[in-house]
């Protein structure tokens, strides 16, 4: 009888401890922002994922849609009755998207964000010329 009671108490202890663990944090929405390019011959050549007012939207030549979160890296494409699943590389950064919408399946790669680096050149002050 003692073994049964100890087993039940141990099981309850484990359940209570597991219930107290924090769920894994959601990735920031900024991870998904970017331009995703599809292979030649696809229904749309590319989609842009934009973050505005803390909500993601996806736009392409076919139209624009709000994305609502379904899981950690998956979103529902509202206006096109589809889903978008973002893929991460070994570096844990989003590098691709898999879209299933309106009977089409698209797999695209994230275009690397070529950022411009602006630098300013200040002309050095000229030395005072000797008067003469």
Cα separation values, 125 from 77, 122, 128, 129, 130, Å: 57, 9, 9, 11, 15
Q: What is the CATH class of 29-110?
A: mainly beta
Residue 29, CB-side half-sphere exposure with 13 Å CA sphere: 15
Q: What average pLDDT does this structure show over 94-111?
A: 92
Helix (H, G, I), strand (E, B) or coil at 116: coil
Q: What average pLDDT does this structure show over 51-56?
A: 90
**How do strand 82-88 and strand 34-37 relate by DSSP bridges?**
unpaired
Tell me which residue of 108, 56, 98 sits closest to 79, measured CA to CA.
Answer: 56
Q: What average pLDDT does this structure show over 23-30?
A: 77
What tens digit of pLDDT does each residue of 105-116 get?
Answer: 999 999 875 443
What tens digit of pLDDT does each residue of 64-73 get?
Answer: 999 999 988 9
Read off the pTM: 0.66
The domain ranges of the chain are 29-110
Label each residue of 49-68 as H, E or C. Answer: EEEECCEEEEEECCEEEEEE
The per-residue pLDDT for 18 is 66
Higher pLDDT, 26 or 53: 53
58, exposed or middle or buried, with CB in 10 Å at 0-12, 13-18, 19+? buried
Most confident of 9-23, 93-107, 117-131: 93-107
């Amino acid at each position: 009888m003692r073994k049964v009671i100890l087993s039940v108490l141990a099981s309850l202890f484990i359940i209570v401890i597991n219930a107290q663990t924090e769920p894994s944090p959601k990735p920031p929405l900024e991870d998904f922002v970017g331009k995703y390019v599809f292979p030649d011959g696809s229904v749309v050549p590319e989609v842009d994922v934009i973050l505005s007012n803390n909500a993601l939207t996806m736009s392409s030549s076919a139209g624009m849609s709000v994305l609502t979160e379904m899981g950690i890296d998956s979103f529902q494409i509202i206006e096109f009755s589809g889903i978008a699943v973002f893929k991460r590389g070994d570096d844990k950064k989003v590098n691709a998207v898999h879209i299933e919408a309106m009977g089409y399946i698209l797999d695209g790669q994230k275009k690397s964000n070529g950022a411009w680096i602006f630098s300013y050149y200040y002309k050095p002050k000229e030395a005072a010329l000797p008067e003469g």
